[in-house]
Structure 1
Amino acid sequence: MTPSEQLQRYWETTGAGHTFTHPLDAELLSRHVSFEARILDYGCGYGRLAAELAALGYHRVCGVDPSAALVERGLSEHPGLDLRRLAGLPLPFADGEFDAALLFAVLTCVPQERVQRETVAELARVVRPGGVLYLSDVPIQRDEHHQARYRAAAEWAEAYGVFGIEDGGVFRHQDPVRLRALLAEQGFEVAEEHEDPVPTLDGKVVTRLQLVARRRA
């Protein structure tokens, strides 16, 4: 089984039972995205953020995820949401179909460099000129616990910041400089960014990086 196949299997089995904890900053979102906006929640999982957006008054939200198990869970927990299982790229949407896209702790779950680049490029395609990409993810952490995890994965990991957890999951914390460059390469300009502490899947706390970027016209 290839690493990609192992990762896919994880999110159809063990990973599909996780409770995601990466929070939405509703105030930050409201400064850049109107309630009338057509929003794509890419990597929506079981619809946690899509449900929160609906409760806030954003009613034109489409959530997509490659995991059939997570989408099935989402449709069960949040009936009425527009959640779709889309196995891969490209997405079946027109160029510029969305006013905004959310990419929440998704790159953390996609350790492969190629897939990260393809993901951001595809979101650049479906977000209209002047539209917004709200990216929230975990940068490389400096504490010894995480540094030890990165070192332990050095022999097999594609990049520094990749690590495995006890249940078989593989994740990647991001180099912020590379992350900003990746956005710039795909035509996004960062309009606002913040760091704050957030809980993790295993009950710890990390510093996250939020980037709100606007697609150049």
Structure 2
Amino acid sequence: MNKAHEKCGSDEWRQTICEVILPWALNGTDLGDDVLEVGPGYGATTDVLSKAVPRLTSVEIDAELAAMLTNRFADVPSVEIVNGDATALPYAGNRFSGAACFTMLHHVPTIELQDRLFAEVARVLRPGAPLVASDSLASDELKAHHEGDTYNPVDPATLPDRLAAAGFVDVNVRTNEFGWALIARVAR
């Protein structure tokens, strides 16, 4: 990620995540007792989820961010930080009770890799388990913010078909002026 993303570790961003983005995206969804978080970045969502679920495994592809989060959560036994690639998760099928991925899918460089990420998440979720995700809508402002970085925004209108192809059902996509959120479940 470029230097502009350092604000994603700020107290202001954590407050926005805690008070606005997660409540809107989760919409009361119970993620269960063993939750997978994909792409925690600077950990604003990890901070919130770590207090809301009994066990959290956060997979971060950026080695420096994973190391920073490992240090930050070293004394929290219910949180495991893993430096890994969510398009090739190192977990057995049906492992997790829920999954979350917030404000990070636009960093996945291709639609094919985004779809592989969806399929991997579906593979490691238990039957009927939810995926909750959100991200920003495409904009020139966000494109400029990502100068020198990957910026591949997700068109929310494509999500129902893409998630169905990955093994999800009951796909519910909502949008507002800033972004989109989805709740989908793995087929039983």
Higher mean C-alpha deviation, range 45-54 or range 17-26: 17-26
Matches within 5 A, 1:186-205: 186-190=166-170, 192-196=172-176
Q: Which residue of 1 aligns with 2:8?
A: 19
Paired amino acid for 1:177: A
| Structure 1 residues 1-217: aligned runs within 5 Å | 11=1, 14=3, 17-19=6-8, 21=13, 23=17, 24-26=21-23, 29=26, 31-33=28-30, 36-56=32-52, 58-79=53-74, 80=76, 81-87=79-85, 89-141=87-139, 145-146=140-141, 163=143, 165=145, 167-190=147-170, 192-196=172-176, 207-217=178-188
Report the alpha carbon displacement of residue 191 of structure 1 after superposing the two structures with TM. Answer: 5.0
Structure 2: distance between partners of 1:28 and 1:164 = 25
Matched-pair contact (CA < 8 Å) for 2:25–2:132 = no
The superposition leaves residues 44-81 of structure 1 with CA deviations (integer Å, 9 ceiling, x where unpaired) of 2233212211223x121110111111111212333323
Amino acid at match of 1:168: G
Q: Which residue of 2 aligns with 1:157?
A: none
Using a 3 Å threshold, how does the CA distance of structure 1 residues 92 and 59 change in structure 2: closer, same or farther?
Answer: same
CA distance in 2, matches of 1:166, 1:94: 34
Q: Is the 8 A contact 1:15 1:169 kept in 2?
A: no
Q: How many residues align?
A: 177
What is the root-mean-square deviation of aligned Cα atoms in Å? 2.6
CA contact (8 A) 1:16 1:69 kept: no
CA gap 1:118/1:173 in 2 versus in 1, 3 angstroms: same
Please name the residue that 1:155 is paired with.
none
Determine which structure has the larger strand proportion and give its number.
1
In structure 1, what is the Cα distance between the partners aligned to 2:103 and 2:24?
18
TM-score, with length taken from structure 2: 0.80
Larger radius of gyration: 1
Which secondary structure does the structure 1 equivalent of 2:8 belong to? coil
Structure 1's 179 and 139: CA in aligned 2 closer, same or farther, altered over 3 A? farther
